[in-house]
Structure 1
Amino acid sequence: MVLTVDVGNTRIKGAVFEKDTLLEQFVFDRENFKKNIEKIFSAYPKISDLVVASVGKLEKEDFLAFEKRAKIGFITNSGLFPFQNNYATPMTLGIDRMVLAAGAVLAYPGQNRLVIDIGTCITYDFINAEDQYLGGAIAPGFRLRYEALHNFTAKLPLLTFGDPTHFIGNSTEQSIHSGVVNGVIFEIDGFIDQYKKEYSKFTIILTGGDADFLAKRLKNTIFANSNFLLESLNNLFQYKIHND
């Protein structure tokens, strides 16, 4: 069994796999990290490998506390990936983006792929049919947009995510929801339309916590999979086993 862990900017997500089958997934905060990992190991004593991808501030030493329970593998920029990295600054490319790109290559071989991840930031990553990673874009996610409107104005309230009741907001709160949510939707559709001008055909994978919400509102046909990063971690682990 394999335990994959994604340390994000706000939350830690994990999943237990038996080969290609996802058995259970978890979401918890940084404060209760060790306690929750211990619970997972207790529930699944056959876990032999712990695979970690981190863009957050959790230290490697926190994971090394479990090295007697499983073999620990940290995903790094210099590791083995199933694509050619054509990023101009490859060592600055986020591990989460590299894992998503690897997952897209392994899950959708021989295709142009665009991966859109909705998290603290919205990231766009494009890998062509020749398995060359070309780059993409980084934009603020929902939470950052709400916080920016509150923090950089005098009177706008700090709101949490909310589905606007109408395109035309008839109150300050509804206007903020409309601007943030519809702004993200129009942005994503706009990016996809721009890619269509250069690539006549490509597969779009939408992932992240709000993937299912957005999938119903985008005009473009996409594959929505909120667990794609965790699945990609497992697929990348299996890839390394067969290619090391």
Structure 2
Amino acid sequence: MNEMNTALPRQSPTANQLGTDVTGHLPDRAGVPGTAGFRPEDDAVWRLAVDHLHVRSNDGHTAYSYGLAAALCDLHPGADRDVVLPAIILHDTGWSKVPEDEVLEAIRPGGGRRDLVLRHEKEGAAIAADILARLGHDPARTAEIVEIIDGHDTRLTALSLNDSLVKDADKLWRLTPHGVDTVMDWFGLTREQAHTLIGSRVHDHLFTDTARTMARALAAVATIDSTPQRIALG
């Protein structure tokens, strides 16, 4: 499952249609919202977590969810980044302890295996505790992160703002182009069918107004991707 949707978005242009180098006129990246990427301390967590994420496209899912979580933290000054960001990196590590051929049974439409979902939460909490201890993470924050991970899917209420943002970032990924692509391949769905399934599992299950606004924007893009007008453009 780790081979799905691994194509990297282009990092360099295929042409310069203007014909003139404008790179010297770009603004300072530090002043543009959403351009920071991974914090060094979170990269350390990522490096220890990533080997647990090569199941069900959780590596790509986690990377995109990190960006969404960082954006949510930007818009919620009361959030603790030292809880939210490590928690989102570590939240799905427990799927590595579930037999790979059973992973999608846990979340399939018309069925599901709650026992497997619970297992991945418990295993992920244990992996998170181990990784954060190895990194010397603050014990109080580690305890909060472990509590968030142990219940991030099955607990229908949020323990705190930090928990809300982790839950919201996790769900918002499904509406990204990468998320829609991934769900299509999980269940053999068309893009339109996948978006319909995703929407039913996201919009009414978010905790913050900020995430609900993000979800509507992402859904608008996903909807247009399946319209005849957009498809005709090739």
| TM surpasses 0.5 | no
> Normalising by structure 2, what TM-score?
0.32
Higher helix share: 2
